[in-house]
Structure formats: C-alpha cells, structure tokens
Amino acid sequence: MPSYTPPLRDMQFVMHELLHITDTLKTIPKHADMDAETINAVLEEGGKFASEVLFPLNISGDAEGCQLDVKTHAVTTPKGFKEAYAQYVEGGWAALGCDPAFGGQGLPLIVNQMFYEMLNSANQAWTMYPGLTHGAYASLATHGTDAQKTTYLHKMTSGQWTGTMCLTEPHCGTDLGLMRTKAEPQADGTFRLTGNKIFISAGEHDMSENIIHLVLARLPDAPPGIKGVSLFIVPKFMVGADGALGARNGIYCGGLEHKMGIKGSATCQMVLDGAVGTMVGAPNKGMNGMFVMMNAARLGVGNQSLGLTEVAYQNALVYAKDRIQMRSLSGTKAKDKAADPIIVHPDVRKMLLTAKAYAEGGRALQAYCAMLLEEEHSHPDEKVRTDAGEMLAMLTPIVKAFITDNGWTSTSMCMQVFGGHGYVKEWGMEQYVRDARINMIYEGTNTIQSLDLLGRKILGNNGATLKRFGKLIVKLVQEEAGNEKMAEFLEPLAKLGEQMTKFTTEIGMKGFQNPDEVGAAAVDYLRVAGHMVFGYFWARMAQVALREIAAGNTDAFYLAKVQTARFYFAKLLPETAMLMRTASAGSDVLMDTEAALA
C-alpha cells in the first residue's frame, strides 16, 4: 500500500527562503499583516486533512468509481467521498482563499495553492469536485452582477454549492467556436438553454446540495465562431430570491465517461433540455468570463501533476531503499543482505532524481505564479499589476504543459522503479500513471498550450515578456559573478538564456514566411522555455542552499537541494540542445508526407 507525507519542509523553503512571500504580501494591503507562522500552521493542518482523510480513499475510489442511476440521472460518488467533503466544508477549507465579503477567510492565494497540491497528491479524483468550484467562483467574482454574486458566491465560498465549467461538445473540443448549444431569450430576462456537453468534470454528484454550472451557448442572432459565444449560470436546482433551493432545472447527466484514470471523478455527459440560465457579462462576450475560469484551471492542472509527481516519488524512494536486487556494480553495499537495495543502482537513482527535480522545480514555479496572481489582482500599484499579469500569462502555458509532461514522465519512472510490482494495482503506482495522463489533455491539450505560448505570448508581443524573464536570469548571474560554487548552475543557464533569444527569432522569422513552422516547433519550444524557467528556479534554490551551508547550517536539507540542482543541470537541462535542433528542422518533414500518411 502506498503512503503520503505532506512536503511541508520544502513548501516552507520555497515560500519563505526562496520567494520571501511575506515581503511581497506586506505590499498588498489586505495581506499586510500575514506572517509565516500563520501560513505554516494552516498548511500543517491542511496536510493532515490530505494525508489522513483523503489519501485513504484514493485506491478504493479508483476501484469503485462513480455510479449513474439512468432513471433519475443521479450520480453516486465512491464510498467515503461525500463524508470527506463534509469534513472539508466543516473545516472551512472551501473558504480558504475566498473574499471575506462572501464569507471567505481571505488567506493569500499561495496558501490555497499549496493546500491543493497536497490534496492532489492525496486524491486527485476527489480534489476535482471542490477544485473546479474555485474557477467558477473566480469567474463570477470578476464578471458577475452584484445580484449574481449575492445569490451564488456565499454558498460557493462555504462549499455548500459546487461549480463546473461546461464547454466541450461531442463535435468540438478546444475549438469552442463550433459549439451548437442554444440559448433562447425569455420574457423575464432569463434564457432557455438546449444542447449537449461532454467531459464535464463534477457535472453531477452527491457531495453538495446544489451545482452551479457555467455554460457556454449561442444566442439566436449570435455571429459565427468564437465571437458569438455567451456565458450563462445554469444551476442544478433553481435558486429563489431568498436563496432557497427550488425546482430541479433542465440540466442533467445523460452518461458517465469510462476513463483510463481519475475514476472517482464524475466525468459527465450533460444534457440541457430547456434549462433556465442567466447571462454572465455581455452578449457574445462569454469567453471573457470563461477565460478567468480556464486560466485558473490551467494552473490547477499543473498543480495536479505536481501533486502526483510528489506522491509517486515518495513511494518509489521508500521502495528503492527497501527492495533488494543484485549487487552494486562498484562493489557490495549491504554485506548483511543477500543483495543490495536497488537504490544503489545508477539508473534507479536517475529515475528517482528526475521525479524529485521535477517536483521541487514545479513547486517553486507554482508558488511564483501564485504570487504573480496575487499581485495582478490585489497590488495597489497599477504597473505592478500589469507586469505581474503579463508574466503570469506567459508562464501559465508552461505550468500547464511542462509540469504535466514532467508528471507523466515522473510517474512512469516511479512505476518503473517498482519493476513488476509497479504494474500491480495494490502498490498504487499504476494509478498515478493513469491519473497523470489526463492532465496533458484537458484544459487545452499541451500542443494548444505550446501554440499559445509561442504564437500569442512570445511572438505576439515580440518577445517582450520573455526578455523580462531573461533579465531575471541576468540579474542572478551578476549577483553570483565570481562565485565558483554557482558556476555549474549559472553557466549553462546563461548560455540557454542567450540561445533562447536566437532560437525565438529564428522560429519567428520562419513563422512569418509559413505559419506551419510555428506549429511544427511549438511543442519543442515550450519544453525549452520550461527548462529555462525551471533552470532559473533551480539555480536560485542552489544559491539559497549554498549560502546556508557556507553559514554553517548542517541541515541535510540544504545539501540535498544542491545535489538535486546538480543533477537537474547535468542530466535534465541538456534536453534543450536536442529540442532546439528538432524545432529548427522545420515543418517540411511533417507536412510534405502525403505518401507516408496515405
């Protein structure tokens, strides 16, 4: 059976020693009094909820899955899920980062982000039920009317009601301009929605008393394409003026998807049969509201794979120390045993260190993005808000795609550490692999994220935001000029930063001649950018650790951080050389292939 220990020490390192988050929070009035002790205490309790309440339900929830009553359209979640959600609500966890104006606790976003990493490690399928609610909450908080906020946000904050995003239809996934769901205006100002949605996570379940669906649909006179999409609130149960629940609305689950993983999460085919909805925002401007939710979901999906990478690594490490097989190539290490533990073998260590490096690098990036989001929303200085928003926009596709690609690699490697036992269900490792695979697909496939990064976020502003990130690298290199102990980190990072400028220009020039060049290079380009970002954070983490060691700190944590940084720069960062070469190979070898793909 697997186990899980919340990585509180590393979280504290990232928040307080690497990013010094309380210094930033002091510049934001509503968080000016927030201290590290409070943040640590909340996360310690959150870790207990994740490890003691959710984690024991992960394997059983996967085995049981969700059940649909085809007559009533009711969905029953796995045993224990509903009770765990009640504890989640009772503990106030749903309100952690929400606005006090709606009953929230008003804690910094990074606290909620770290908490959700632990929930994802413990049980990704369960975590999707409350997780999507945060995105729906953010969308309504940003674009809803005062009446809509009053009606819905208090109970979504408390966790009494959950939320969904209803976008995808059977004939269209990412290309939302093709959607057909209709919204007919009514005399009372509401709309009647008719259509079908698929792949709707948490679309129907028994964990909350109401489900608030945010649905994209078309008005009768809507222009074609994405410019003709509007956003609507469609509650499972109608809500009266006094907030009381009324009649069942015309939206229901017509079927459950039979999936490779996250089987405890209800992935629903939703039918809208004259369902009553109210519009959010302006007509034909629905994507404005939905993008708030989609961007939050993209950061959340990166966090899902971060959580899975962490828990897979923890279990593979324990197994590698215990399992004995063969002798070390360099001589016997465990003379009192019939064979050496497999952790002595170089390739086993490579797999373990890959997962560790991707988990800890991902945690640093996620925390950095959470602080950018905080600044974008709440900093009193308009320039800070703008700069934070631009940087976050560039990093979001990297969070979603790079961390989830790494999560797939890491969980697969961690399963490999177990050998044949990793392929057996009882050990829990094969579930992490299955659960991780969806994260590369939904909320915009990783190819879509790559196109967004290269086409919109980089070439779209002539690399201005990329250059800003490059200045962070230059600053770090200048800070440590002459420090020989930092050279093994900074020299390859500085070189990659320089190469990135030339690489981006080359792809951009080719793209102006032939747009397929951007499509052919985008996935490789994102991984190069991801390694540059991870490399920056790993160099900074090594910097902090080396300073502690130089000051006489004998905590093995810091030596481990330096050793992992060395591994990252020696074994993982060099992937960029191959990626830049393949990206530069052009589109002809892909597009001039009619005979090969006949």
Positions marked active-site: 443
Assigned token pair, 553? 């700190």
- Which helix (H) or strand (E) covers residue 119, if one does? helix 109-143
* The two three-digit tokens of residue 55, written as one number: 């984690």
Structural contact between residues 534 and 497, judged by C-beta atoms closer than 8 angstroms: no
Q: How many CB atoms lie within 10 A of CB 41?
A: 11
Identity of the amino acid at 9: R
Who contacts 460 (Cβ-Cβ below 8 Å, separation ≥6)? none
Determine the Cα–Cα distance for residues 489 and 510; give it in Å rounded to an integer: 32
**Three-class SS of 360-425:** HHHHHHHHHHHHHHHHHHHCCCHHHHHHHHHHHHHHHHHHHHHHHHHHHHHHHHHHHHCHHHHHCH
On whether the CB atoms of residues 51 and 119 are closer than 8 A, the answer is no
| Distance (Å, whole) CA 316 – CA 343 | 10
Can you list the positions of beta strands (E) in 6-132? 67-69, 74-76
Residue 254 burial (10 A CB sphere; 0-12, 13-18, 19+): middle
| Tokens 């793209």, residue located | 511
Please, what is the end-to-end C-alpha distance for the chain in angstroms? 48
- Render 204-234 in DSSP notation, one character per residue: S-SSSSEEEEEEEEB-TTPPSGGGG-EEEEE
CA distance 337 to 593: 57
Residue 325: phi and psi, rounded to 5, are: -155, 120
Helix (H) or strand (E) holding 298: helix 286-322
The token pair at 595 is 């005979």
Distance of CA 590 to the CA centre of its chain: 30
